[in-house]
Structure 1
Amino acid sequence: MAPRVLVVAGPGGAGSSTMAAGIADHLAAAGRPVTVLDNDPYTGARSRCAEAIPAAGPAAALAASKTVDLQSLLSVLGDSAEVVEPLRHTDTAAALRLLWSIPVEASDEHIVVVDAGSNGPDLARLARMLPASLLQLSRVSSKWLRTARPFAAAVGGKLPGPALLGQVQASAERARAIRNAVCGGSGGVLLVGGDPGKTARIGVGVALSGVLVRGVVGLENGPEDLLPGVPRVASPVDWLASDWDTQPPVQIVADMTDEGYQMRMPLPLSDFRELKLRWSGHSLTLAATGHQSVLDLPSVLQRCRPSSASLRDGMLDVAFRPTRAGA
């Protein structure tokens, strides 16, 4: 079982760091094992905590030391669009530091509070796509690199050897554990409301990566059609005491009427016309409100084609139908 990962996100100035610190203090005072992560040592959540709360467990630090530095590896690989393109819209270094510090080895009693602020969508996007990108990098061979980067091959000393590729494979395994913790049933986002439009865009940006927006605080009097399907939270303390639904947010359901499938995922978008979907056989790209994410499709959906999509009450349904021979 993975630890419970609560990402606290919101527009700049909305108070997400204060909220994350308050939640961590409440959990620590109640005797729960808790870890607080942020990217700001001066005004982030950890600096605001009244309790002495660790930033990350020793197991996470040990695991991180055995994995590769992504920025160094990207420098070696250069500008291969197929490998690097998914990272271009992400503040990779800052988000990677946060994700890599999540103690995925901890028990399900452990709660990790991540102060993400306005970077919540970037964090969710990186958590979703990093395992596939690292797995792809681990399959890179010297022959491919000489073809793709003849200059690097000519100057020498920049082709990754077996040790580096082994680190990439270890990194891919850790990235899968992080993705499962953030994007699975043990993860979720609490939005801290500020400007309603900016708050909604952050919520949609997070949800596009398949991370569940579990609630929003500070918008009790906001427009009713804002963030459909997301509960309004009046008391974070009472909300924390409630049980979480541990079902993964992205569900694949068999459609018995025509032997097809339905992919269902929460998406708190008010207007379906703002959503753009692009299917590529192995993945589904979703874009809305200035954010974009790529969802790798399970093997059962890679043998199908999307036939329709609908959005109702904050739930996106995409119908897939089997690809017929010769079609």
Structure 2
Amino acid sequence: MRVILFTGKGGVGKTTTAAATAVRAARGGVKTLVMSTDAAHSLGDALGVELWAAAGQPVEVEPGLSALQISPPHLLGESWRVVQDYLLSVLGTLGIDTVVAEELTRLPGAEEVAALLEMRAQVESGPWDLVVVDCAPTAETLRLLALPEALAWHLDRLLPAQRGLIRTLRPAAAAAAGVPLPEPAVIEAVTGWQRQMRQVHRILTGDETSVRLVLTPERVVIAESRRTWTSLSLYGFVVDAVVVNRIFPGAAESSDAAQPSDVAATPDPWRTGWNTAQQAGLVEVRESFAGLPVVVAPYLAAEPIGVEALAELGRAHGGDDAQDLLAPVTHRGMTVERTDEGFTLTLPLPLAHARDLGLQRRDDELLVAVGEHRRVLTLPAALQRCVVDGASVREGVLQVRFVPDEEVWPRG
């Protein structure tokens, strides 16, 4: 099973690229599912098929290719209702109005959770060789992909450590707390979410999963895509390709040859200006994402809607052979190495600079922040007995040095 997620700034052709990749894969003999986590729900429009009427079930688009639109209420309904009823009872005890309590207990991120759970179900039990995920625009995707680890972390702290003891002491504990304690069904629902989120995180950070960035060769879009690559790496995800969409005829060839003057003779000033800008943009893309494959997709003569038009775009992305889509990826996540002085924790953060980075040690955890994105890393047992001795970012790699804490780990 291979999973490829597509994301990018809104309006760059992300959905079209994901759909074209899925069509290319299916016509190359790869049994493929394409699904969307984007609230815009434009995947069906791109494929030219109706997905809403399927009630959250995959729809066969053509032999070897199915598409899926996610239905959050169908996936989350009963398990969340159990927890919501408990929260309503707690808020009622505190004297909060029923209508207000109902609003307060709506599950934030319900569509994101539903998307993740459905992706896990399709990966683990679906008949697919490839699952292509059309993700929401960049900010929502980063929130989506960070959710499993973050939610599992919070659920670890929410679940009572001594569940059996709480059941035994429920009446006395409830009286002491002044609010009702969770019933076993509530704890079971939360425990189930915790387990499923950990399973989702294993899928997202495994060697079968990668992210592909979709962009257009414009300065604002490229800048956001650079930040996205750094943020995805912070959360432990691998970007294995960049797709540059809507390239005018002539711009790609000129940028490859690094000869912008080749298009200067074009009589149309409007096209000349765009060709020159796109050439510069393609150069910046290749410099920014050095080491990653860059796929250049042409601006087609008509909007690619329907499988035949998407097949044409898919061939422009990678030809007729789709087996390359199944190649595993190599994850370069967090590593810890022993040194003469102690240990070094290494985390790849491409394009990151020290000025963008924030580090904080909190008990057995290390908080790493890049811009507005933050990840909580639970330190391995050896590092929990160490203190931070310094950190640096060089050539896109964060290194944090640890030395043994002599109060808990005396030097021999």
Match of 1:206 in 2: 232
2 CA distance for matches of 1:302 and 1:236?
Answer: 47
1:270, distance to aligned residue in structure 2 (A): 4.2
For residues 73 and 298 of structure 1, the distance between their equivalents in structure 2, rounded to whole angstroms, comes to 38
| Mapped contact 1:91–1:122 kept (Cα < 8 A) | no
Partners in 2 of 1:226 and 1:191 — Cα distance? 13
Shift of 1:99: 0.9
Q: Are 1:105 and 2:124 matched, yes or no?
A: yes
Deviation at 1:281, TM superposition (A): 2.9
Cα offset for 1:227? 4.7
- 1:182 touches 1:211 (CA, 8 Å); kept in 2? yes
Matching residue's letter, 1:122: R
Structure 1 residues 108 and 203, CA gap change in structure 2 (3 angstroms): farther
Q: How does 1:260-279 map to 2 (within 5 A)?
A: 260-279=342-361
Aligned to 2:284: 222
SS in 1 for 2:213: strand
How many pairs does the alignment contain? 304
1:306 counterpart = 2:368:
no
User: What corresponds to 1:94 in structure 2?
Assistant: 111
Which one has a larger percent helix, Structure 1 or Structure 2?
2
Q: Distance in 2 between matches of 1:216 and 1:200?
A: 11
- Counterpart Cα distance in 1 of 2:127 and 2:402: 34
**Separation in 2, partners of 1:179, 1:73:** 28
Q: Which amino acid aligns with 2:365?
A: S
Q: TM-score, normalising length from structure 2?
A: 0.62
1:250 CA displacement: 1.6
Letter in 2 for 1:320: F
Distance 1:20 1:266 in 2: 26
Taking structure 1 as reference, are residues 243 and 53 closer, same or farther at Cα in structure 2, changes over 3 Å only?
closer
- 8 A contact 1:185–1:249 mirrored in 2: no
Matched with 1:115 is: 134
* Greater shift in the superposed pair: 235-244 or 205-214: 235-244
Identity percentage over the alignment?
25
Residue 165 of structure 1 deviates from its aligned partner by 0.7
Match of 2:294 in 1: 232
Deviates more, 1:13-22 or 1:218-227: 218-227
TM-score by length of 1: 0.76
Q: CA deviation at 1:231?
A: 4.2
SS at match of 1:35: strand
Structure 1 regions of 5+ residues with no counterpart?
79-89
Could you say what secondary structure the match of 2:367 adopts? Answer: strand
Change (3 A) 1:305 1:229: farther
Aligned to 2:399: 317
Measure the CA separation in 1 of the matches of 2:287 and 2:176: 49
Structure 1 residues 214-237: Cα deviation after superposition (integer angstroms, max 9, x where no partner): 222216422565356544344743
Q: How does 1:192-203 map to 2 (within 5 A)?
A: 192-194=214-216, 195-203=221-229
Q: Does residue 29 of structure 1 match 2:27?
A: yes
Structure 2 equivalent of residue 20 of structure 1? 18
Q: Is the 8 A contact 1:37 1:98 kept in 2?
A: no
**Residues 230/178 of structure 1: CA separation in 2 closer, same or farther (3 Å cut):** same
Q: Deviations over 1:240-275 (max 9, x none)?
A: 7166554443232322433x3333332122422211
**Given the alignment of the two structures, is residue 251 of structure 1 paired with residue 334 of structure 2, yes or no?**
yes
- How far 1:11 sits from its partner (Å)? 0.7
**Where does structure 2 lack aligned partners over 5 or more consecutive residues?**
49-60, 92-106, 245-280, 297-315
Between Structure 1 and Structure 2, whose CA radius of gyration is higher? 2
**What is the SS of the residue equivalent to 1:172?**
helix
- Go from structure 1 to structure 2 and tell me whether the alpha carbon gap of 1:179 and 1:100 turns closer, same or farther (over 3 Å shift): same
